[in-house]
Structure 1
Amino acid sequence: MPRKTEAFTISVPPGTKEKLEAIASRLNILWGKKPSTSGLIVAIAQGNVEVGQSFSLTQEQVNSIQQAIKALTDAGHLRDAEILATLALERGNLSPQQRQTIMQQVSQPNQAWRLEVDRHRQNHQPFHLLYCDSQGQNLTYTVRYAEISFEEKRFYLQIWCDETDDIKDTPYPELIHNRCLRFDRIQAILPITGTWRQEGLDSIKVYLHFCRGMVKAYEPRQHDIQDEVIGGVRQVVRRVTYPFWLVREVLRYGQDCVVISPDNVREAVAKELLEMCRHYNLTLME
């Protein structure tokens, strides 16, 4: 039975018909292979197409959206990142440069690396990993264990690997097989045969003392294995796999946190403090 329709005539300024056809084409509202202005009007009347002004975003708001997309992507919530990016692109009235930046964010290959790493971790599947470090050097790792950590507003891939030659004169020989990698520097991943390391990452125990305001203000971390207050000092023992992040954390606490042991971590903090003193032309008095 033929579908009943109603015909009416509208008058529009010159160029409006072409604009309506462009909108219909973008929304994939077609009559055969051509954009359908009639179909567009029907879709609007039925509430299937939202009509309204694009919202204008300040540069600060665009930066916030970009940070949110990055956080969602790093966390593996790729669909959510794409939805947020699409909303900004379609309705945000962005500049060409802003549009390009957001489109690059959701098309970066590190999204695929995160998904692939998660799959191998779940299957306990060892893999080869090609990585480009901060100096532009390509390195290959045979990964026997991997986990994902969040450090200073970014997710990182921590691995246990067979290779050790790329580390020279390390102060942490007990952690020689551990690496901490950025997802956006991964070049390739290839699964291999072999066994998954059940013990996880290598680690050391670091003993920390918090004093003064940090006795109550300190917030326990995921890898703290002991936490107690004795004699007005908060004594924390933490399992550490990559001391670089711990040293940066301790320096932020200033005089309210002291590394008690092991000596190599304690010396790493002292070395950073000495370098800071040299930058400011400070001389330590005995």
Structure 2
Amino acid sequence: MGRRGQSITLAISERDKVQLENLALELGITWGDRPNISKLVEAIARRKLLIRANYDWTADRINALNQARIALVDAGNIEASMVVAQLLLERSEIALPLRAELDQFVAHPVQPWRLAIEHYIRQSQPFQLSYQDAAEQVWQFTIRYAELTTHEDRQYLDCWCDETTGNQDLPELAHNRCLRLDRITDASVAPVSGQWHGGLATILVEMHLFRGLAFAYRSKTNQDEVNEWLTDSPQVRRVVRRVSSTFWLLREISRYWEDCIILSPQSLRMRMQKKVEAMHRLYDSVQDES
């Protein structure tokens, strides 16, 4: 007959007992089909299981992982984002507000309309949605091409729509819309009949870059069709980019002002020139008042 092991008594709450049983089940430490806490304690004593601190992660690490979770959601990788959320929830140092946010996310990882949009995009299926703009006006759009993207740290749906009313971009890009995801009205996405387009409407924009920007510039993948130094002006870089929204292009180049000019198309060049003239008048008016 084998020698019986010595017994010990654990003074723990019923909740902690359940947690130990669940841990034993997760690790496959059972007697038959039931969890075995004694074997679990024995495995710890024999260092088959290592116990480590669950409260030593820095705030930077936690924030980085949470940002990664959000980025995975924005990229449509919900399964991976759930793994990161579960990893964070296992930590004891997670602050209560973040824990509540993660609990809510795990319970409802993504809104149904977001899943519907991603499904329609994958299936090349035209669809309709309702959208509330910054002035709280509700629009209905029939979308025949769409892609989820990021502009200045916000998530958007860049799409080709039947409707052009109210679009202030160039006529060639009038069918393109850039819709903030958080302004899409819930439970408003539905499929429609018709053809799916191959992409957004685009135009070619030629720019010249000067001084430090010319040397520091890095080509935009899948956007720049030409990126070269001018032979007759060796310190000027010529860039020809395929653009689907002049709004975002002007936002980008306005940071560089005198280091970047638009050459074509003429309509966009004039639009940028008017913005510069308006800013010049504004500066003059402030100077006159002072």
TM-score by length of 1: 0.78
CA 1:93/1:160 → structure 2, altered by over 3 Å: closer, same or farther?
same
Residue in structure 2 matched with residue 228 of structure 1 by the alignment: 228
AA paired with 2:181? F
Using the TM superposition, give the Cα deviation of residue 80 of structure 1 relative to its aligned residue in structure 2, in angstroms. 1.8
CA contact (8 A) 2:225 2:240 kept: yes
In the alignment, the residues of structure 2 paired with residue 22 and residue 216 of structure 1 have an alpha-carbon distance, to the nearest angstrom, of: 63
Number of residue equivalences: 275
CA shift for structure 1 position 266 = 3.1
Aligned-pair CA distance for 1:250 = 0.1
Instruction: Select 2:16's aligned residue among 20, 29, 49.
Output: 20
Deviation at 1:75, TM superposition (A): 1.2
Greater shift, 206-215 or 116-125, is seen at: 116-125
Kept after mapping to 2: 8 A contact 1:75/1:155: no
Of residues 263, 278, 285 in structure 1, which corresponds to 2:282? 278
> In structure 1, what is the equivalent of residue 175 of structure 2?
177
Instruction: State the partner residue of 2:79.
Output: 79
Confirm or deny: 8 A CA contact 1:171 1:264 kept in the other structure.
no
Q: Is the 8 A contact 2:144 2:195 kept in 1?
A: yes
Q: Rate the CA distance shift 1:258–1:27 in 2: closer, same or farther, 3 A.
A: same
Checking the alignment, whether the CA contact within 8 Å between 1:147 and 1:159 is kept in structure 2 is yes
Task: Mark the CA change 1:253 to 1:25 in structure 2 (over 3 Å): closer, same or farther.
Answer: farther
Query: Could you tell which deviates more after superposition, 222-231 or 180-189?
Result: 180-189
- Counterpart of 1:120 in structure 2 is 120
Match of residue 237, structure 1, among 236, 240, 246: 240
Indicate whether 1:191 and 2:187 are aligned. Answer: no
* Gapped regions of structure 2 (runs ≥ 5): none
Tell me if the contact between 1:164 and 1:176 (Cα under 8 Å) persists in the aligned partners.
yes
- Match of 1:213, SS state, is helix
CA-atom RMSD in angstroms: 3.6
- Percentage identity across paired residues of the two chains: 36
Aligned counterparts of 1:183 and 1:6: Cα–Cα separation in 2: 64
Distance in 2 (CA, whole Å) between partners of 1:162 and 1:116 is: 20
Q: Where in structure 2 are the equivalents of 1:202-217 lying within 5 Å?
A: 202-217=201-216
Write the distance in 1 (CA, Å) between the matches of 2:101 and 2:280: 36
Aligned amino acid, residue 117 of structure 2: V
TM-superposed deviation, 1:44: 5.4
**Residue 266 of structure 1 corresponds to which residue in structure 2?**
269
What secondary structure is seen at the aligned counterpart in 1 of 2:238?
Answer: strand
Cα shift at 1:38:
4.3
Unaligned runs of 5+ in 1: none
Q: Rate the CA distance shift 1:150–1:26 in 2: closer, same or farther, 3 A.
A: same
The 1:194/1:171 distance shift into structure 2, 3 A limit, reads closer
For 1:242-261, list aligned pairs within 5 A. Answer: 242-261=245-264
CA drift of 1:161 comes to: 0.9
* Superimposed CA distance per residue, residues 114-145 of structure 1 (whole angstroms, 9 cap, x where no aligned partner): 55434323322111122233343332211111
User: Does 35-44 or 61-70 show the bigger shift?
Assistant: 35-44
> Which letter does structure 1 place at the counterpart of 2:211?
R
What is the DSSP-based 3-state SS (H/G/I as helix, E as strand, rest coil) of the residue aligned with 2:87?
Answer: helix
| Alignment partner, residue 90 of structure 1 | 90
